[in-house]
Amino acid sequence: GEEVAQTPKHLVRGEGQKAKLYCAPIKGHSYVFWYQQVLKNEFKFLISFQNENVFDETGMPKERFSAKCLPNSPCSLEIQATKLEDSAVYFCASSLLPGRNTEAFFGQGTRLTVV
Amino acid sequence: AQTVTQSQPEMSVQEAETVTLSCTYDTSESDYYLFWYKQPPSRQMILVIRQEAYKQQNATENRFSVNFQKAAKSFSLKISDSQLGDAAMYFCAYRTGNQFYFGTGTSLTVIP
């Protein structure tokens, strides 16, 4: 597609439940990034992929967060046993090249609310 | 470590006037790119303008321009002839190959 598609737009989970978010990058883009935006300002980097391979996962809280980008499927970000502090907007972005000059195209985000 | 600092949490501007949003960054790299993104209430992140660090000429996109001072590691955004539709959060960002680093944003209000 011509835009990054994230689903669902909103997700509500009880504390301790699992949450799974999806992202379809722009067709032809090899790089996918996941960011967590808390309180409308701070963007925390979670993980990036080059095709189906993890490129950089330095931001991932590995004990509960996992992510995949499999061929011919949307990328996914899964949170096991959600906590209240996981409430945030999760953005996916894709870019064509890894180079420093290429912009990232963002999806509209998934708002996760943990209650 | 790469960091991006936006020291103005909020700014306001009268419609049709000019406003400048500031951004400073810290990096040890010599080749990099800088971006300004706009985030309206819809949450959509929209690229406003980008600047290649190796270019001395400041980037311009219609009413938007930057003042890039590489030695000072400063990258401010100037919005001319401000319009109501410019009201949004503005994020400065620096990119390495692996990820983007974002500032904490400046909320811009446009006063009619």
A79 confidence band (pLDDT: 50, 70, 90): very high
Q: How far apart are CA A61 and CA A81, in angstroms?
A: 12
For chain A, give the mean pLDDT: 92
Q: Nearest-5° angle of CA A2, CA A112, CA A17?
A: 125
* A103 contacts B97? CB cut-off 8 A: no
Strand partners for B37:
B47, B91
Q: What does the pLDDT look like over B8-65, one tens digit per residue?
A: 999 999 999 999 999 999 988 877 889 999 999 988 999 999 998 888 889 999 999 9
Distance to chain A for B101, nearest Cα, Å: 8
**A103 with B35: Cβ contact below 8 A:** yes
User: In whole angstroms, what is the distance from residue A106 CA to residue A92 CA?
Assistant: 6
pLDDT in tens, A9-27: 999 999 999 999 999 999 9
Token duo for residue A68: 């995949």
- Among A115, A42, A112, A39, CA closest to A78: A112
pLDDT digits (tens, 9 = 90+) for A24-57: 999 989 899 999 998 768 899 999 999 999 989 9
| DSSP assigned state of A97 | -
Cβ neighbours of B101 in A, within 8 Å: 45
Strands A53-56, A42-50: parallel, antiparallel or unpaired by DSSP? antiparallel
Mean of pLDDT values over A100-112? 87
Residue A98 confidence class, pLDDT cut points 50, 70, 90: low
CA-to-CA distance for B79 and B98, rounded, in angstroms? 29
Nearest-neighbour CA in chain A from B52: distance (Å): 7
Residues of A with CB under 8 A from a CB of B: 33, 35, 40-43, 45, 48, 55-56, 59, 89, 91, 93, 98-101, 103-106, 108-109, 111
Secondary structure element (H or E) that encloses residue A44, with its range: strand A42-50
CA nearest neighbour of A114 among A20, A25, A34, A16: A16
Q: Which residue has the higher pLDDT, A7 or A72?
A: A7
pLDDT, tens digit, for every residue of B55-93? Answer: 888 999 999 999 999 999 999 999 999 999 999 999 999
- Return d(Cα A83, Cα A94) in angstroms, integer: 27
Residue of A40, A59, A108 lying closest to B44 (CB–CB): A108
Nearest-angstrom CA–CA distance, B23 and B106: 10
| Listed range (A26-40, A73-87, A95-109, B56-70) with the worst mean pLDDT | A95-109
Listed residue (B47, B20, B45, B43) closest to B33, CA to CA = B47
Nearest to B44 among A41, A106, A111 (CB): A106
Q: Do B50 and A55 touch (CB under 8 A)?
A: no
Cβ–Cβ < 8 Å for A90, A106 = no
Interface A-B: count of C-beta contacts within 8 A: 53
SS (H, E, C) chain B: CCEEECCCCEEEEECCCCEEECCEEECCCCCCEEEEEEECCCCCCEEEEEEECCCCCCCEECCEEEEEECCCCEEEEEECCCCHHHCEEEEEEEECCCCEEECCCEEEEEEC
A43, B96: Cβ pair inside 8 Å?
no
